[in-house]
Every structure is written in C-alpha cells, then in structure tokens.
Amino acid sequence: MNKILYTPSSERIQSSNMMEFIRQINKSQGLDCKSYHSLHKYSVDNPKSFWKEFVKFFDVDYSGDLEPVCTDLSFDTYGWFPKVKLNFAKNLLKNGRDVSIALNSVRENGQTQKISYKDLKNTVAGLQEVIAPYISKGDVLAGYMPNIAETAASMLATTSLGGVFTSTSCDFGIEGVIDRFGQSRPKILVTVSGYEYGGKYFDLTDKINAVVEAVDSIEKVIVVDFKGEGFDASSIHKGVSWSEVVKPVDKEIEYTECDFADPLYIMYSSGTTGKPKCIVHSIGGTLVNHIKELGLHTDLKEDKSIFFFTTCGWMMWNWLVSSLYFGSTVVLYEGSPGFPTFGDFVSLIEKEQLNIFGTSPKFLKALEDSNIDLSKYDMSSLETILSTGAPLLPEQFDYVYSKFKKDIQLSSISGGTDIIGCFFLGNPILPVFRGELQCAGLGMDVTCFDSRGKKVDTGEEGELVCLQSFPSRPIYFLNDDDGERINKAYFSEFKGVWHHGDFIKITEGGGAMVLGRSDATLNPGGVRIGTAEIYRQTETIDFIEDSVCVGKSVDGDVEIWLFVVTKDGHELTKEDCKFIKARIRENTTPRHMPRRVIQVKGIPYTRSGKKMEMAVSRLINGRALDNVQAVANPETLAYFENF
C-alpha cells in the first residue's frame, strides 16, 4: 500500500457535506454506513434509492414525481427520472444570495471583474430577451469564447429557455470550429472580438466571418468587445454588439420546464477517426452529477471559492460553472498561466482567497521546474487542490505536500467529456495516498477488466469499465439515429458494459491509479485531441507520404509525437519540421501542434488496412504488443521500439 500523505482532521470530516449525507441517508434508509466505502457500496447496490435520497438531500428544484427513479439500469436506453421536470439555469441560480459574488473574472493582465448573483441574474434576464426570438426548447446557441463572465451568462440564458449550449475555445482554428458547429447547427453564435494569451492579442474577425459563412444555421452573432475599446460589430457578418443589445434588467428570469432527459450540452469528442463526435448530455443527469462531485466529493459550500484553469473547449469549464448551484464564488481565469510568470498565477490563491484550486500535472511540473519559492505566498485559505488532464505522478504528490501545504486535500480526478464528470475523484473524509486517486464516485459501479472481459484482482492492471447506468451517461450522439456510433464508442469492447478506454489499477484502499489511455485519443495538458484533426493537415503537405500521431508519456503529461514517412527519399530537415508544426498550429489549435516530428521508413497497419496508432503508442511508451500477428507489415515495428 502506498504511503499516506494526508489524513483529514476529525473536525473536517464531521463538518463535511459527505459526512452529513451519510448521517442523513442512514437515518432515512435505516442504514449503518460507517465509512465512505460502505456508502459507495450502497450507492451501486441500491442506485434507485440512493439517487432519490440524493435529490432530496440537496433540494434539487423540480416538479413531477421521483418515481420511477430509473427504468433501465442497463445501457440500452436512458431511463433516469422519466417523470421529473426541471430547469438547469434555475437550479444554478437558486441558492446564491443577491449580494454574494457569483463570478470573479480574472485576466492574465491582472484585470478583474466581480459580479454578484443579483447582477448575474439581471444580465441573464437581459440576454434572455435578446435570444428568445431565436432560442426555444431544443435550439442551440454556440459560444466561440474565452473563459469570461459573458460565456457563463450565455449558457445560463440559453438553458433558462430550454435551449442547448455548446462551446469551443478561441484558439481553435477555422476548420476545428466548423467541424464542431457545422454538426451542432447553432442558431446564435456568441463570440468575442479577440483574446489575449501570453501578452499577445489575437483578433478573431476573419475567423468568425469564415465560421458564419460556413455554418448556415447561424442567424445572429453577438460579439463581446474583449478590449473594451469600441469594437465595430458591423465588421462581423450578422453581428451585433453585446454591450449595445444586452441590457441588464431587474426582473424575474422566465424558466422553461424541461424533461430530466432533455438535452443540455453538446460536447465534442477528440475526432480520432474523423470529425469530432457530438456527445449530447442531459439536463438532469449533468445537474445531479455535478452537484454530487462538487458538493460531496469536493465539499463545496456557499462560503467557498472555487477555481479551475480551463478553456471553454474542455468539459471542466461546464463542471466549474455548475459550482454556482451552491451559491459559491466561481473564479474564472482567461490567459496563460505562465504570463507574466508562474508566480503571478500562483498568487491568485492569495489574492482571491481561493479554497479550491484546480490545475494539471503539466502545470505542476512547469511550476516545479521554475524553482519558484512558494513559501512567500499565503495559502492559508487553500483547502483542496484538484488535478486532472493526465495521471498525477507520485513525485508530484510529494512536490505539492512539500511546497504548497501539508494540511491539504490533493485530489487527482479522472473521467472525461463522455460522462461530463469523473469515475474516480477526491473525498474530504478519506486520506490521500501517494500516487492514488482517492475513490470511485458515488453511484459509479466501476471495476477493472482484462482483455477477455474478466474482472482482475485488486492491484492488477486492466481496463476501466462501469457495469451499470448512471445519470450523467450521454443521452445520444448527434447524427447517430441508429445508435451505431455511441455503441461503438462505449459498448463494442464488452457487451452491455461501459468501456472507458483507460488503463487503471484499483488499489487496496479502494482508490485507483490511472496508467494511461488505451485508445488513440491524445491528452496533452488535459485537453483531449484526436489524431484525425492532425492527419487532415499532414495530408495536405506534398512531401509527406504517410504519418502516425501518438501520445508519449513524459513527466506526468502527454506529448504529441508525429512520425512521418516522406516521399521519394526526401530527407526531413529542421525547416520541414517547423513547417509541419506551423501548418498544424494554424489550422487546428496550438495544443494540436506536435512536440516532436520524427522521420521513419514505415507505419504499421492492420490486415484490414487500419493505421495502428495504439501499436505505435505502446511501443514508444515501453509496453509490449499483445498481438503482433495482427500487423500486416510487422517489419515497421522496429522503427518505434527504441523510443
């Protein structure tokens, strides 16, 4: 068993939401749960009574009947709370006191904007009037936005009307945005004149016009003036200025009641085998899962502030904004965590009195390498550090406890866009073991399978699977009427069982260690990236004959490595590598740009003609291949074995 690095105090345990929930469910159900693990067992053995008690405990606003809780605990259909109606925005805005700060928007240049719950509600009411002629139940509004307050207000106004919200970050190239919004078909695009990153300003005018021209469903474009210097929205086709049309109004927001299983968010897969899949998540499933993860596993309360470094193209943004449900202060950050320095970024903990700080192994590694003296920052407010995007190495646990704070809950969390949440995450009443995620999430019936679909022993490596349905499972994919794509994504490996695509091992203490991805999805810095988007660029380069793109595990993160086969004996030069990287960066995002471009003589394919990304990935990460017989050209494997 790994070393215990932190044990919560008795006071923290007893005052936690988790412990209060255990006391309540023991009383109402006549149970005798004395530990988290007994509560978790109850939640997966009796999921219907568990989720019913959960909705009552957190006083979720709904109408209708909680019975039946679920009509299908298999994954054949989405069966959760079929007689419940509710509104997502209404729930997120119901608990915040008018005078409390809802959103604290911080930019890399130090500029801040603090918005009370009252002001946020007034802004949402004003925006609702603008978009109501276009957005009704089921209609889509898209945000091509940085992580600022207007993005959150756009989501709330959309969902208040029963609309569906989707978003991507401003650093996506034109093709990446069109691939996404061309499928989700938004009626309104909310965007921004430009954005800043690393001290540089990037104008978005040309990109926005290209997107609007390509996505013919867009009827109106609302443009936020990022600099506040009087941007001319008429330069954007169908554009109007946010400041001119969105007038905060002091009136009650009108909320449209929706079914529990109605669509809320359209999220996007990585695009490994083509255009990104459009994953549709439900209103009720997203809400109750986020309340569970934030309220119980993260111990979020009204008097706390929460921060997570994320873009609007990552599900952690959606997760973070759900913190409004608790009446908490949500701290948004837009810009580079390294500008002007890493120290300036860390100082947010002290300046904004953060209680919960969300980051990634990549940032923690960069911070460690910078040798910044963290002892000069006041971290007395800090209770919890969350880390996701890649496995957190044991040495990084040591770094946090030696340099940040000894009395802190370090929660490495893991899940994904597919479930808009976590399978394994933190727990305020459990100890932290070095290198481990603390526990499986409540209601998540997870275990570990070998390649034959058999459960492996504790401590053995295997595939992360979930044996029964949970509320935050996706309701469907867009453009997948027969369900073929969603079944292929999650249920083709093991029939009737959710296959997540992570290699893990479950530890003796009930926690887990994530060992990497078992599919071709790339995960640099926690942002899921698909190889297909990169191949679309390499295929346009005349001296490249073939290529394969995989993730290389380095210092707790994933680097993108691109292997290329050149045409006609062409020798790859440094200038060629720079050109390839620039082409990929320009037409996708900076995160898609490979760390290394390496020339090889051949790339392995299956006998049915499929590029074997996972074979290359396993080899360069020092893992043996299970089935060399499946390789049509096994001589090519030698090119990757020395990496």
DSSP output for 478-520 = TT-TTSHHHHHHHTSSSTTSEEEEEEEEE-TTS-EEEEEESSS
Return the higher-pLDDT residue of 360 and 263. 263
Question: Which region among 37-51, 217-231, 449-463, 515-529 has the lowest average model confidence (pLDDT)?
Answer: 515-529
Ranges of CATH 3.30.300.30 domains, the chain: 529-639
Burial of 11 (0-12, 13-18, 19+ CB in 10 A): exposed
Class of the 118-259 domain? alpha beta
pLDDT for 296: 98
Ranges of CATH 3.40.50.980 domains, the chain: 118-259
Average pLDDT over residues 167-183: 91
Contact, 43 vs 443, CB < 8 A? yes
Tokens coding 609: 């003609």
Residue 496: count of CB within 10 angstroms of its CB: 10
At 641, the pLDDT band (50, 70, 90 cuts) reads confident
Q: What is the dihedral of CA 2, 6, 7, 11, to 10 degrees?
A: -170
pLDDT for 569: 86
Average pLDDT, the chain: 93
pLDDT for 259: 98
The amino acid that residue 363 corresponds to is: F
Ranges of CATH 3.40.50.12780 domains, the chain: 4-87+262-299+383-517
Tokens coding 134: 């276009």
Backbone region of residue 109 per phi and psi (left: phi > 0; alpha: psi in -120 to 50; beta: other values): alpha
Average pLDDT over residues 628-642: 82
| Percentage, residues of the chain above pLDDT 90 | 78
The label of the residue with tokens 């704070």 reads 405
For 159-208, the three-class secondary structure string (H helix, E strand, C coil) is HHCCCEEEEECCCCCHHHHHHHHHHHCCCEEEEECEEEECCEEEECHHHH
At 483, the pLDDT band (50, 70, 90 cuts) reads very high
Buried b (16+ CB within 10 A) or exposed e, 404-414: bbeebbbbbbb
CATH architecture group of domain 4-87+262-299+383-517: 3-Layer(aba) Sandwich (3.40)
Residue 272 has pLDDT above 60, yes or no: no
- Spatial separation of the C-alpha atoms in residues 205 and 539, rounded to whole Å: 28
Containing 55, the helix (H) or strand (E) segment is helix 47-57
- Spatial separation of the C-alpha atoms in residues 85 and 81, rounded to whole Å: 9
Containing 214, the helix (H) or strand (E) segment is helix 205-214
Residue 359 has pLDDT above 80, yes or no: yes
- Spatial separation of the C-alpha atoms in residues 121 and 23, rounded to whole Å: 34
- Spatial separation of the C-alpha atoms in residues 158 and 155, rounded to whole Å: 5
Residue 594 has pLDDT above 50, yes or no: yes
The amino acid that residue 128 corresponds to is: Q
Average pLDDT over residues 371-400: 92
Beta strands 544-554 and 557-566 are: antiparallel
Tokens coding 129: 């009037």
- Those residues whose C-beta lies under 8 Å from the C-beta of residue 606, and which sit 6 or more positions away, are 612, 630, 631, 632
Question: Which region among 59-68, 366-375, 377-386 has the lowest average model confidence (pLDDT)?
Answer: 366-375
**Cis ω for the linkage preceding 340 (within 30 of 0):** yes
Average pLDDT over residues 382-400: 91
pLDDT for 52: 98
Dihedrals φ, ψ of 425, to 5°? -165, -165
- Spatial separation of the C-alpha atoms in residues 340 and 69, rounded to whole Å: 51
CATH architecture group of domain 529-639: 2-Layer Sandwich (3.30)
Give every strand in the sheet of 239-241, ordered side by side. 239-241, 220-224, 188-192, 140-144, 164-168, 263-268, 278-282, 476-477
- Spatial separation of the C-alpha atoms in residues 481 and 488, rounded to whole Å: 13
pLDDT for 608: 45
Question: Which region among 56-65, 180-189, 386-395, 564-573 has the lowest average model confidence (pLDDT)?
Answer: 386-395
- Spatial separation of the C-alpha atoms in residues 196 and 177, rounded to whole Å: 19
The model's pTM: 0.87
- Those residues whose C-beta lies under 8 Å from the C-beta of residue 11, and which sit 6 or more positions away, are none
Beta strands 194-197 and 200-203 are: antiparallel
At 273, the pLDDT band (50, 70, 90 cuts) reads very low
- Those residues whose C-beta lies under 8 Å from the C-beta of residue 323, and which sit 6 or more positions away, are 294, 300, 306, 330
Q: How far is CA 56 from CA 5, 50, 60, 322, in A?
A: 35, 10, 7, 18
